[in-house]
Amino acid sequence: MFDHEESAVEPLLQEIAGIVGDYFDVEPERLYHDAVFADLGDSMSLLGMAQRLEDRYGCKVPLRQLFTDVRTVPELAAYLLAHAPAEKLPREEAVPPSAAAPATDAVAVPAPAPVLPRPADSRATVPAAPAAGVPVGGGAPPGASTAVQELIKEQLAVMQRQLQLLAGGEPVPADGAAIGPGAGGPPPVTLAPARPAAASGVVPLAPGARSGVISPVETAERARYLKELADRVGARTKGSKEFAQRFRTMVADSRSTVGFRPSIKEMLYPIVAERGQGSRLWDIDGNEYVDLTLGYGVHLLGHNPPAVMSAVRERLDVGFSLGPRTQLVEDVAAGIIELTGMERVAFLNSGTEAVMTAVRLARAATGRDKIVVFSTAYHGHFDSVLAVPARENGVFGTRPLAPGISPHAVENVYVLEFGTDEALDFINKHGADLAAVLTEPVTLRTPGVQRPDFLRAVREITRSHGTKLIFDEMVTGFRCHPAGVQGLYGIEADLATYGKIVGGGMPIGVIAGRGGVMDSIDGGVWNFGDDTGPRVESTFFGGTFNQHPLTMATAKAVLDHLRAQGPDLQRNLDRRTALFTDQLNADFRELDVPIEAHTFSSVFKFEHQANMDPFYFNLLDRGVFVWELRNFFLSTAHEQADLDHIRTAVRESVEELREHGMLGGSRTAPVAPRPREAAPRSTHAQRQLRALDQGGVPAFEMSLGFWLDGSLDRAALRAAVQDLVARHETLRTTFAPDGDTLVVRPVREAPPGDVLTEHTCGDEDDLGRFLRSWAEKPLDPVDGEVFRAAVVEAAPERHLLLVTVHHAAVDGWSYSVLLDDLVALYNARCRGTSPELPPAVQFRDYLAWHERVVAGPTAARHRDFWHALLKGVPAPELPLSGQPAPFPYRAVRHRVLLDPEFCGQMREAARNEGVTVFAYLVAAWGALLQRLTGQDDILVPVASARRPQELDRTVGYCSNLVPLVVRRPADTLVGDYVGDVLMQLVTGLERQDYPFADLLTDLAPEGEGLRGKLFTTGMSFYRQVVVPPMEGLTVSEADSLPLTHTGNPLALNIVDSEDGFRCEFDAAADLVDPGLVERLPGYYRSLLGAMVANGERPLGELDHEGEDGPDGGH
């Protein structure tokens, strides 16, 4: 009775793997052995898969069984063989007699074999079951993998045993028992070609699918671990579990079964909270959690923010009678319109209602029925968006996502794949029939997929066809930008839906629209006292609790806060989230686990090629609250201590799971090796420095020295320096030979003996000779080291600590971080304690931020701004000697100190002019260069640290040149001149999303000219490095370290020290006249003093008052 099932086993396995793989975008060969369906997607997506299987085989596969006894491809094949109509199963054509293999004895069932790719030939000849005289797998094509044949043997044997059991017979012996020949067994057959994959953009991933996520059936070891984890979680959250058991008998709650599978059943219940405040939650068992769920994205400001709670209390005192309107509605509407730029709004009670009404409005406005949605988006639970793609006999369509939804509800819905050219083609082809394209601009399911280019294309296509574009900004609205994704990307949708954040924790849905599309709610705008009235036919709209007074009160409080804070609220939170996920990803790389955090704005999600449920329950057990659908949020209430707690919990959870083989590392079948992490790519600025550093001389090193007076623990200092190198990757990073990529040396490969060298000098002459030799020894950022340190004993209780780092590895800002860390590490070594340091911010973190910013929407505008600004600006024509000089140049340095009294006068002048002291310092440098060159328009490049607040402790070469074009009309007043410099500084600092080194690279060969303009002169400003107290030592700066070479013909470095502003003028000794360099410090001070004292005089008059001027005062 099983002939037709047995003859269909292998083609059925292939066909099922093809269908499931196509649905979840997983390679079919990854599904053959032990991939569990539940690991591929959530219950909603598995339901869609089951419906596709039902359509194909005419047999319903109950969803619950996909979590129990029909979990894998072989188990599903056995189920279909037992329940599907025979005519629906695939059959193979008989092989001609000449192709049959010779008769042999029976074969034994082998042990499980590794899963390997199937042969490329899709028409392999195999028997469907062991037949008389035919060996299992004997008809495989020449060259076919033995492992595949063995796997087929195993699967066939398993199928035969299952079929025997289903028929009520005795099971066939397994594990080495022979399978005897059957009477009249079927002949060998030829596999049918694999079912072709659906076209991209037409049959996409199902909603909730976890692409490529697979894991093996639990082994005994895994089962033991999961039992231990369940016991641990259950003991910690006993009250919540007991509540769930009582609750289930009375209340139907979908959250209680999300992701159900037997292995985690004992942990599958929602946590019951007692209270929440800020970033924290407390459950009924007294456990405290750092919350990453935040009301599913509602609590942008944290739980119960003061402004919202105050609004609630005030409204409760007044009451909230329904029926009449509240004046708060006008305030809330005005706030939404101000922030989003929309024209009119309407209020509802949920996001589902808002999206449902937006679709209705689009259909009313266009007179069309059909809409487009995208497969990875979620738009609530009204019937018309609960659709999945379907293709039957080559015809594209949709079907309901779940039982209870009428097929007629989704017959006018197309489900496409977001971000594809095929989707754009489809929308353009069918645009005349489409009422709307509905999309989440960035989806919760795939926060790492951000396609502003695709959205802009959709906007243009829909506009050309009169189709309404609807942005569902339920999650992104007010989160990534005050105007949501519309404001972030500069794209205007016809309709947008909002909720979550704007309600402040109360139920709310908002529709906002422009271009008259909202008029279908009430007929449009009309006035009293004239002959106007509703002019647009209205659709149906209503709701008892719309505009609820309590919701309006909380919404007004949220909007008032957002308006008061401005875009910096979102910008700073986004940066913190990006930095945090970059740090998590760095931890995953270090732990060598294939997990990655993907982020958009303040939303993030973990991606992994295995079942992550044990990971999330570990987080819960460690005091991090996560919810069932595994999207996470940060709020403005999260502090650094919260992020540190989460990071520690993540790391400890990963380590525990890896130890117990829960991350795929202990599968029976081998796993394809994870690709090696791509080497970090250097920035354009680093590559430019490397290109300049070709002379084998120390022109691009940064050195500091400090006197250590007292009892120095040399062993502790040596260990602290080694700890410092281990802590900061950039100190172990060199250039690869290609010059583009960076090579990060593992900690274990750092040379411990060479990190800190020790020396003794007998007298000042001896010390001077050592310092010169130290300064003349270059670092090698390609084949050598980028960091070195030395400690020199000048006397028994007096030591000089020297630290030198290549400029391609660090900038001036980094030195403060390095020295702070070094002191903390030294003090901890002396005390035998752990250093109290935050997690190190790695240069990788900066690179990730840098890449995002450069690829962001504003970078191109900044690039164009700089290009336009610099066009036509000549290079500074310094009065050079005209003699050729080898590059890098021999250096000479002269100093002048602007004492505290002078600085006080400058600060007073700055206050009077409404500018900054730094603007005076830069303006005087610009005026000096104008005098030196005789040019009225001069390019003054100023160094900037270029770090967001979250990355201010990055150690690396992050600095950027901000070029100022200083212009000097003859009659410009000094105060106006300084004010103009300040405005240029502000403008330039605001436009650093596109760093100048990138611009120089982009504009090559024109960039070569710009490079000449920029590197003729330079200006840097530093705060004096203040070294924290060191155990048993008095620390003071050594300020006379030799300078041997420079990369600029002329440069000014200003150090803000406790003694005043220390101005250091570095010049190319063989290019610039020595007498001129000697006069520059005095002339700079004289000119700056004249500017400070004469803000109301024309700058041109001051040019003739410098007694120490380089031109002799003419």
| Most confident option among 434-438, 607-611, 1021-1025, 1039-1043 | 434-438
- Cis peptide bond N-terminal to 1005, omega within 30: yes
Burial class of residue 382, CB neighbours in 10 A (0-12, 13-18, 19+): middle
Six token digits for residue 411: 């017959």
**Cβ atoms < 10 Å from Cβ of 177:** 12
* pLDDT, tens digit, 9 for 90 and up, residues 30-70: 776 667 776 665 545 666 677 778 878 888 887 667 766 78
pLDDT at residue 439, rounded to an integer? 97
Q: Which of 26-40, 190-204, 965-979, 1097-1111 has the lowest mean pLDDT?
A: 190-204
> Given the DSSP bridges, would you call strands 701-710 and 742-744 parallel, antiparallel or unpaired?
unpaired
Percentage of the chain exceeding pLDDT 70: 80
pLDDT at residue 202, rounded to an integer? 34
Q: What is the mean pLDDT of residues 946-955?
A: 82
Phi, psi dihedrals of residue 792, rounded to the nearest 5°: -115, 125
d(CA 692, CA 703): 19
Six token digits for residue 1002: 């982009």
For 505, the 3-state DSSP assignment is: coil
Q: DSSP class of residue 99? A: G
Q: Which of 133-142, 918-927, 980-989 has the lowest mean pLDDT?
A: 133-142
pLDDT at residue 50, rounded to an integer? 78
**Cβ atoms < 10 Å from Cβ of 738:** 8
Average pLDDT, the chain: 80
Q: Which of 353-362, 448-457, 664-673, 947-956 has the lowest mean pLDDT?
A: 664-673
For 415, the 3-state DSSP assignment is: strand
> Given the DSSP bridges, would you call strands 937-944 and 889-898 parallel, antiparallel or unpaired?
unpaired
* pLDDT, tens digit, 9 for 90 and up, residues 820-842: 999 999 998 888 777 778 878 88
Q: Is the pLDDT of residue 1106 over 70?
A: no
Place of tokens 């193979």: 92
* pLDDT, tens digit, 9 for 90 and up, residues 335-373: 999 999 999 999 999 999 999 999 999 999 999 999 999
Are 614 and 229 in contact, with CB atoms under 8 Å apart? yes
* pLDDT, tens digit, 9 for 90 and up, residues 571-625: 889 888 988 998 898 888 888 888 889 999 999 999 886 678 899 999 999 999 9
Torsion 631-633-638-640 (CA) sign: positive
Q: Please report which helix (H) or strand (E) contains residue 582, including its range.
A: helix 568-591
| Higher per-residue confidence, 334 vs 40 | 334
Q: DSSP class of residue 887? A: S
pLDDT at residue 422, rounded to an integer? 93
Using CA atoms, how far residue 636 sits from 112, 300, 371, 560, 573, in Å, is 52, 6, 37, 15, 6
pLDDT at residue 674, rounded to an integer? 35
* pLDDT, tens digit, 9 for 90 and up, residues 671-687: 333 333 457 888 888 88
Q: DSSP class of residue 497? A: E
d(CA 925, CA 930): 9
User: Helix crossing, 452-465 with 421-429: angle to 10°?
Assistant: 10
* pLDDT, tens digit, 9 for 90 and up, residues 991-1037: 888 888 888 777 665 555 555 655 678 888 887 777 888 999 999 88
Q: Is the pLDDT of residue 886 over 90?
A: no
* pLDDT, tens digit, 9 for 90 and up, residues 401-413: 888 999 999 999 9
> Confidence band (pLDDT; 50, 70, 90) for 397?
confident
> Confidence band (pLDDT; 50, 70, 90) for 712?
very high
Burial class of residue 484, CB neighbours in 10 A (0-12, 13-18, 19+): buried
* pLDDT, tens digit, 9 for 90 and up, residues 461-516: 999 999 999 999 999 999 999 999 999 999 999 999 999 999 999 999 999 999 99
Which string of DSSP letters, residue by residue, matches 974-1003?
HHHHHHHHHHHHHHHHTT-SS-HHHHHHHT
pLDDT at residue 335, rounded to an integer? 97
d(CA 164, CA 81): 12
Phi, psi dihedrals of residue 760, rounded to the nearest 5°: -130, 135
> Confidence band (pLDDT; 50, 70, 90) for 193?
very low
> Confidence band (pLDDT; 50, 70, 90) for 78?
confident
Using CA atoms, how far residue 193 sits from 4, 113, 197, 945, in Å, is 19, 24, 12, 61
Burial class of residue 414, CB neighbours in 10 A (0-12, 13-18, 19+): buried
> Which residue segments constitute the domains of the chain, with CATH numbers given?
3-190 (1.10.1200.10), 306-522+537-566 (3.40.640.10), 684-835 (3.30.559.10), 847-877+890-1025+1049-1102 (3.30.559.30)
pLDDT at residue 158, rounded to an integer? 47
Using CA atoms, how far residue 369 sits from 41, 359, 372, 386, 410, in Å, is 31, 9, 10, 16, 11
| Higher per-residue confidence, 123 vs 607 | 607
| Most confident option among 42-56, 288-302, 1065-1079 | 288-302
**Cβ atoms < 10 Å from Cβ of 795:** 10
Q: What is the mean pLDDT of residues 9-24?
A: 84
pLDDT at residue 776, rounded to an integer? 84
> Confidence band (pLDDT; 50, 70, 90) for 135?
very low
Q: Is the pLDDT of residue 97 over 60?
A: no
pLDDT at residue 900, rounded to an integer? 92
pTM of the model as a whole: 0.53
> Confidence band (pLDDT; 50, 70, 90) for 1086?
very high
For 605, the 3-state DSSP assignment is: strand
